[in-house]
Amino acid sequence: MIRFTIYIFVALFIGLCAYWVSSNPGQVLITWQDWEARFSLATMIFLALVYSMLLWGILRLLKWLNIVDFFNSPKRLAAKRAKADRELDLAWSAYALGDYKEAIKLGLRAKSRLGDDHNILRLLARANSQLGEVKNPYLNMLEASLESSVWVEKQRLDGLLAQKDWVAAKPLVKKMLVTHPKNAFLLRLDFLLSARTSDWRAADKSLQEAAKTKNAFSPAEVKHYKAVIDYCLALEERAAGKRSESLTLLKSALKNDAYFAPAALSAARSYIEKDDKKSAEKAIASVWTHAPNNELAETLEELYPLESSSEAYRRLKKIAGQSPDFPESAHLLAKAAINAGHWPEAHRALENLVNNKKATKTTYHLLALLEEKQKKDRAAADKLRERAEKATPDSHWRCSACQSPADHYKPICPKCGEFDQIKWTAQ
């Protein structure tokens, strides 16, 4: 009934239109260059109807001949997809070989067959980035898709990290954490970026959040990084004149990582300022068993300036004996023994390093000093100093990321900007 009513209204509308045209006769004039066509309005309507009928007939014929189904047949689409996949594989191969222009060329061919396929767009986006193009339209196309937006942000993040632009990378990581709050990679990076930008309090907060998520950091890493952050905060408090707060943070650092030598050294210096030399010695001795270094040795040697050389020898021998396998312990003991005139003890400590192939430049310099002090043999001392020039260099502070040497421990490498990579290490 409804359809019948619609047909009636359509017929009435057509009839009214026909009445209006018959009561308002006119002509249609079409002019093109020197050609002119003139016909009545009724003729134009008739031609329009003929054109519509012809078009309808052609479409019906195409449908009857299965032309549309031919272009959309599963076999044809599968062949098209296979060819596009082959071109995409070749594009990835070109990308792997560093031929980014060829990768883009092949990727565009695959795109012409499959359209805005995300796998193709990812290839084009990465190849475009490798060419150093400022504008990357493929990233913009992927960003429009919610499923691919994080991938796009990760590409931009990788670019910022490669440029070591920690400041710009930090807010991008925060944005990604909104949609992926438990992602271990992002939580770890959030902490490291805060640390690399010396934002120690933000780093402390990020570390606490990351510690709640499995696989972001191991328990040992959490404790060590907590120690480093407390150490950095202690330096800030000390610079602000808050020495008591600084020492409290240093104690916390050593509680989290008992063998973190920089914290032990700073704590010892704080104790020395308070004239509490026993606590200073205890702080260094507790670290010396696992992480001795020359800065700690110098502090131990200068701790009691009024003590005799024999007293210093007995004190330092006890500390060195806690970790006899380290060259630093042998050198500490040998220096004290030479100053106190205990020649056999000094010779034994140094020869032990030579026999175990742990001798360094300092080892031979001390042997030369021993020859001069004990035997007054200048010629033998000079030969030992010549050997020292060819000997293994002593352990020193060095960045494990960029291999740059450092005078002492620093939480951030001044050369490459990496966090907590300066280690006491052998050459």
- The per-residue pLDDT for 31 is 79
Radius of gyration of the chain (CA): 41
**Both tokens assigned to 204:** 């402390």
Task: Please list the residues that pair with 171 across neighbouring strands.
Answer: none
| Beta-carbon count within 10 A of 271 CB | 21
CA–centroid distance for 320 within its chain: 40
Classified as helix, coil or strand, 54 is helix
pLDDT computed for residue 75 by the predictor: 75
Q: Which of 69-73, 96-100, 221-225 has the lowest mean pLDDT?
A: 69-73
Question: Looking at residue 140, what is its pLDDT?
Answer: 84
More confident residue, 369 or 30: 369
| Chain segment 203-216, per-residue pLDDT in tens | 999 999 999 988 89
> What pLDDT sits at residue 61?
75
- pLDDT over threshold 70, residue 21: no
The separation between CA 371 and the C-alpha centre of its own chain, rounded to angstroms, equals 52
Q: Within 13 Å, how many C-alpha atoms sit on residue 187's CB side?
A: 20
pLDDT at residue 79 in the model: 82
**CATH class of segment(s) 81-163:** mainly alpha
The predicted model gives 23-40 an average pLDDT of: 72
Residue 87: pLDDT over 70 = yes
Instruction: Find where tokens 């098209």 sit.
Output: 80
* Residue 43 or residue 372, greater confidence: 372
- pLDDT at residue 131, rounded to an integer: 86
User: In this structure, are residues 250 and 273 in contact, taking their beta carbons and an 8 Å threshold?
Assistant: no
Residue-level pLDDT at 70 = 54
Neighbouring CB atoms inside 10 A of 411's CB total 19
What pLDDT shows up at residue 406? Answer: 93
Pairing type for strands 35-40 and 27-32 reads: antiparallel
What are the boundaries of each domain within the chain? 81-163
pTM over 0.85: no
pLDDT in tens, 386-414: 999 999 999 999 999 999 999 999 999 99
Place of tokens 């200068």: 302
Residues contacting 228, CB < 8 A, separation 6+: 195, 253, 257, 260, 411, 420
